[in-house]
Structure 1
Amino acid sequence: MSRRLLVTGGAGFIGSNFVHHVVENTDDRVIVLDKLTYAGNQKSLEGLPDDRVELVVGDIADDALVGELVPRVDAVVHYAAESHNDNSLNDPRPFLDTNIIGTYTLLEAVRRQDTRFHHISTDEVYGDLELDDPARFTESTPYNPSSPYSSTKAGSDLLVRAWVRSFGVRATISNCSNNYGPYQHVEKFIPRQITNVLRGIRPKLYGKGENVRDWIHADDHSSAVMTILDKGEIGETYLIGADGEKDNKTVVELILTLLGQEPDAYDHVTDRAGHDLRYAIDSTKLRTELGWMPQFQDFEAGLAATIDWYRENESWWAPTKDGVEAFYAAKGQ
């Protein structure tokens, strides 16, 4: 039996990939609620059937609008967030408005309707690990956020936990590692480097490029979220990862190699403030308790497919590229 899902931030990178995943793999219908800020792109939903996907342009902090939409659905999947670390360092306020107040608004709406709620979060709430530390983040790792972005995501996670315990909201949480794949804004690390090379611009690498991220393809994130929505235990947190640890230097050099360039054809730029060293996810709980497994375990193959998507979809990313590079150029990055 098909469900009706409200997907917040469904025109953003990870959210739009989830909407495509839902349409391709289920009979569910989706209402996308997206503010269509710079990070949301209506073109990311092009080609999806109108009778399955409805776009509502609006703010998750708009109580009246959220109050109208939640009674129409069986579950809310909450992707919407201000999510770019550099932007949070430049202007933290939007992160408070969206990540804290927006999440609160949604929680109150699902509380009134007793609607199933799944909250998408990030591994950045745990802070970072030393480069030589054999440990990985687990569901019991203490929160230690480093930036306005990660601290507001940590705050939103705690709100969800409190609404579960205090009000009986039927919610689950997932914290995921770094995603890559189609429809990702060119301000982000992998698409920025890909589109730089495609335009004949030398890629830029923060510091020495030793920072490690645990990469997962957006399709795997989507399948994990669907698994949690279907099988997850209310009140539980699940970490989503695909054992994809790579340092930034390795990723840039692989992008250059896959695009036929010399692997050292990049420039080092000033590191950003508070740049976390290493993220690493232990997704044992999700795999053993809910039976999920990632499908994209070959990072090089997944990256090659992502490069192909950006090569074939310049019309999607070109309108924002110049503005992003101008922003970084002004900062010497």
Structure 2
Amino acid sequence: MRILVTGGAGFIGSQFVRDTLAGRLLSPPDVRVTVLDKLTYAGNRANLDAVAGDPRLTFVHGDITDVRLVDEVLPGHDAVVHCAAESHVDRSLTGAHDFVTTNVLGTQVLLDAARTHGVGRFVQVSTDEVYGSAGPTGAWTEDAPLAPNSPYAASKASADLLALAQHRTHGLDVVVTRCSNNYGPHHFPEKLVPLFLTRLLDGRRVPLYGDGSHVRDWLHVADHCRGIDLALHRGRPGEVYHLGGGTELPNKELCGLLLEACGHGWDMVDHVEDRKGHDRRYALNSAKARTELGWTPTVPFTEGLADTVQWYRENRSWWEPLLERAALTR
């Protein structure tokens, strides 16, 4: 089996690649993985150091919007796991062009090539943010209407619709996964958990948006990748599957946990003006993935967060060189 993983040097993609090659997922031992990654500011070859010498891994430095390159790379692959994306909401508010280019145009380039070259399965890795803001109770099912509020979320919703249209119009074997907020090791220090951890471990202050009451559902990246893998091998063509962590926390509560883990108090927190269009709550109903794929999260949040804190403590050599790049994106 040959799998093309786009964005395979990023946070989620590299976890999927490492877990696949380590035999922790369903692919056979002789699986071959090609990573296609542009290595933008959040792409990092060091995320693949653990498998860099594996002969089953091929790395291609390139852009998913490059039609000629994609047409050269894709033939011979049995599946595409499409993780490549511009994903930072804050940056999308001031620079939506890059999000539309990569997330929409890049996805269409891949879909066209997958259809042309007879790829057997295309997994579109997406996000709960395509639904906009949930109410105070309940959770979205896969048939909920898409109502994105940020340019990032709108670009991902567009990509999802393009992928599903390829299935309905051309019969391409497409499966879409939508996950809740991820956390774990190798996460570029711009999102909440790695941003707060790297700042607190350096004795620096952290910014908390608004009143901190925005609620997110947290999923360990390893559990997310198991869900992606199960969708790859067991998902029904044309279907969407939710992968929710089942741990809903207001941002203020999560901030408190990170402060405690790093030995700091609330005097290290700056309450900053809320983000424009900031969704109040996300919530996914994952019953379909449990029933059809046999997926359920296995990493308890308390344990996963403690392991994540410890990883950042022990891997300054990984994140310290990234701080300047992270600062330039905020």
TM-score when normalising by structure 2: 0.95
Deviation at 1:129, TM superposition (A): 1.3
Alignment deviations for residues 269-324 of structure 1 (CA, whole Å, 9 cap, x no partner): 1111111100011100000122111111x212111101111111111111221453
| 2:169 maps to 1:166 | yes
Correspondence for 2:315: 313
Correspondence for 2:129: 124
Q: Superposed, which structure 2 residues align to 1:140-219 within 5 Å?
A: 140-219=143-222
Q: Superposed, which structure 2 residues align to 1:94-133 within 5 Å?
A: 94-115=98-119, 116-130=121-135, 133=136
* Residues 323 and 65 of structure 1: CA distance in aligned 2, closer, same or farther (over 3 Å): closer
* Residues 159 and 211 of structure 1: CA distance in aligned 2, closer, same or farther (over 3 Å): same
1:176–1:240 CA contact under 8 A, matched in 2: yes
Matched to 1:315, the amino acid is S
Aligned residues: 323
2:41–2:325 CA contact under 8 A, matched in 1: no
Correspondence for 2:33: 30
1:240–1:283 CA contact under 8 A, matched in 2: yes
2:91–2:329 CA contact under 8 A, matched in 1: no
User: 2:224 aligns to what SS in structure 1?
Assistant: helix
Deviation at 1:11, TM superposition (A): 0.4
1: CA distance between counterparts of 2:268 and 2:151? 33
Deviation at 1:14, TM superposition (A): 0.7
Deviation at 1:326, TM superposition (A): 6.2
Correspondence for 1:300: 302
Alignment deviations for residues 109-132 of structure 1 (CA, whole Å, 9 cap, x no partner): 1101221111001000000113xx
Correspondence for 2:55: 51
Deviation at 1:156, TM superposition (A): 0.4
2:18–2:50 CA contact under 8 A, matched in 1: no
Matched to 1:193, the amino acid is F
Deviation at 1:72, TM superposition (A): 2.5
2: CA distance between counterparts of 1:187 and 1:212? 18
Deviation at 1:47, TM superposition (A): 2.2
2:122–2:175 CA contact under 8 A, matched in 1: yes
Deviation at 1:207, TM superposition (A): 0.7
Percent identity, aligned pairs only, is: 48
User: 2:260 aligns to what SS in structure 1?
Assistant: helix
Matched to 2:173, the amino acid is R
2:209–2:272 CA contact under 8 A, matched in 1: yes
**Which ranges of structure 1 fall in alignment gaps of 5 or more residues?**
329-333
* Residues 326 and 292 of structure 1: CA distance in aligned 2, closer, same or farther (over 3 Å): closer
Which of 44, 64, 69 is the equivalent residue of 2:68?
64
Correspondence for 2:89: 85
Correspondence for 2:259: 256
User: 1:68 aligns to what SS in structure 2?
Assistant: helix
TM-score when normalising by structure 1: 0.94
Root mean square deviation of aligned Cα: 1.2
Which of 3, 6, 9 is the equivalent residue of 1:5?
3
* Residues 279 and 87 of structure 1: CA distance in aligned 2, closer, same or farther (over 3 Å): same
User: 1:137 aligns to what SS in structure 2?
Assistant: coil
User: 1:17 aligns to what SS in structure 2?
Assistant: helix
1: CA distance between counterparts of 2:210 and 2:297? 31
The range that moved more, 84-93 or 64-73, is: 64-73
Deviation at 1:260, TM superposition (A): 2.1
1:213–1:245 CA contact under 8 A, matched in 2: yes
Alignment deviations for residues 70-126 of structure 1 (CA, whole Å, 9 cap, x no partner): 112111100001110011011110111101110000000110122111100100000
Matched to 2:132, the amino acid is G
1:121–1:175 CA contact under 8 A, matched in 2: yes
Deviation at 1:327, TM superposition (A): 5.6
**Which ranges of structure 2 fall in alignment gaps of 5 or more residues?**
none
